[in-house]
Amino acid sequence: MPLAAPDLEVTAMLRTIVWRPKASKAKITIAAPADNLADLQLLDERAHVLDDPARISDCMADGRACVWVDLTDPSPEELALVQEEFGLHPLAVEDAARQAQRPKIEEYEGTYFMVAYAIELNADMIKVGGLFDDDAQAEPPPHRLGWLAGTPYHLHEVDLFIGRNFLVTSHSVPLPVLDRVWNRWLAQPVSSEEGIGSATYRVLDSMIDEYFPVLDGIVEEVEELEQRLFTMVHKGAKNDDLRALFRIKRDLLQLRRVLGPARDAVLVLSRGDMQLFDRKVGFYFQDVYDHIARLTDSLDVYQDMLTNALESYLSLVSNNLNEVMKALTSVTVMFMAPTLIAGIYGMNFTYMPELAWEYGYPFALSLMLGSVVGTFIFFRRREWI
């Protein structure tokens, strides 16, 4: 098969491994065609790195080998290469090139195109007073869609092209989670069921498992934030705490938008309707679906917790404000009578008997004090102050 880019060399951005499941080896007979992959020693029950992209044609023509191609920030030439070698649909390749796709799974003439999101810790972010700020050396996120504002995490789109005997993963930046799956796949022996379905399961399962520590960290932050909010009701919450609350709500919503459609996509894989995988592999995808369902349910719970915390805080603040206003109103009412008395005796009429009375001044002061004390006692008995 002619290549779109025959001079393309394997780099860290394009890597390929190839293996033969044991079940395929059992079908090899004396009458089998010549093994064009004999130099790769695929009969040693391990996966091997394919150094030459031109050998992908031999792997696909072999019919017994499984191929996993991983692309990091693929160039148009690399996308054209995998499109031609694996017969990928142009619309799927176009979606992978554009990025910023919602999680989904689509079928194209015997192959499936799936979009999922991996979450990654950004080590260049530092925590300052409950919020995370970018360090001076931190680069801006490549895609605005996946950035969790104010947190050390970023969501990265991973596009998967799934065929009967091939898997192509494409992503914009290097992802440690895929590196770990890649290295484990190379290090372990290949069993009888380690086909493309198993490789796809391990990729998705590892990506989803990365969300649990992130969610645990968000839960701890929610609990700390709730405690700070309710202990600072009388003093008033800090602006940073309120900003952190709305920021967490936004981050939970962002995660929900990613994991919700991903759950529906994995459900398609777990039903066993796909003709690409053995039905036994569907049980593993059911486990991934269960993990995503747990995550989405937890996100819904924590969103409700934050909403209830905010409503409770605002209710307490409003109640506290009412108490303050009631106290101020009571003080104002208590001093209305002395003000009235002072106003009456401050009028400049000629004939006011109390003005010439020897005890007029002490009487006026006593009357003012008595009105204040009487009003205070009345309010206390009513429990208004």
Residue 131 is predicted with a pLDDT of 44
> For 174-206, how does the pLDDT look when each residue is reduced to its tens digit (9 = 90+)?
889 999 999 888 887 766 566 888 889 999 999
Q: Mean pLDDT across the chain, nearest whole number?
A: 78
d(CA 41, CA 318): 74
Average pLDDT rounded to a whole number, residues 225-253: 75
Banded model confidence at residue 209, pLDDT cuts 50, 70, 90: very high
List the strands of the sheet with 111-121, edge to edge.
48-49, 14-19, 66-72, 166-171, 153-162, 111-121, 104-108
What's the pLDDT score for residue 249? 84
Our measurement of the distance from residue 229's CA atom to the centroid of its chain's CA atoms, rounded to an integer in Å, reads: 24
For residue 236, name the pLDDT band (cuts at 50, 70, 90): low
Give the pLDDT band (50/70/90) at residue 237: low
DSSP state of 44: G
3-state class (DSSP) for residue 126: strand
pTM (global) more than 0.75:
no
Convert the pLDDT of each residue in 14-26 to its tens digit. Answer: 888 887 776 544 3
pLDDT for residue 144 is more than 80: no
Task: Report residue 154's pLDDT band, with 50, 70 and 90 as the boundaries.
Answer: confident
Which pLDDT score, from 0 to 100, does residue 235 have?
Answer: 63
DSSP state of 54: G
Percent of the chain beyond pLDDT 70?
Answer: 78
pLDDT at 141 over 50: no
pLDDT tens profile 22-76: 654 433 333 334 455 555 555 556 777 877 777 777 777 777 788 899 999 888 8
The CA distances from residue 223 to 33, 152, 210, 226, 286, in Å, are 64, 18, 21, 5, 31
- CATH number belonging to domain 14-315: 3.30.460.20
pLDDT for 263 equals 92
Break the chain into its structural domains and give their ranges. Answer: 14-315, 335-381
Instruction: Please give the average per-residue pLDDT across 277-295, as a whole number.
Output: 88
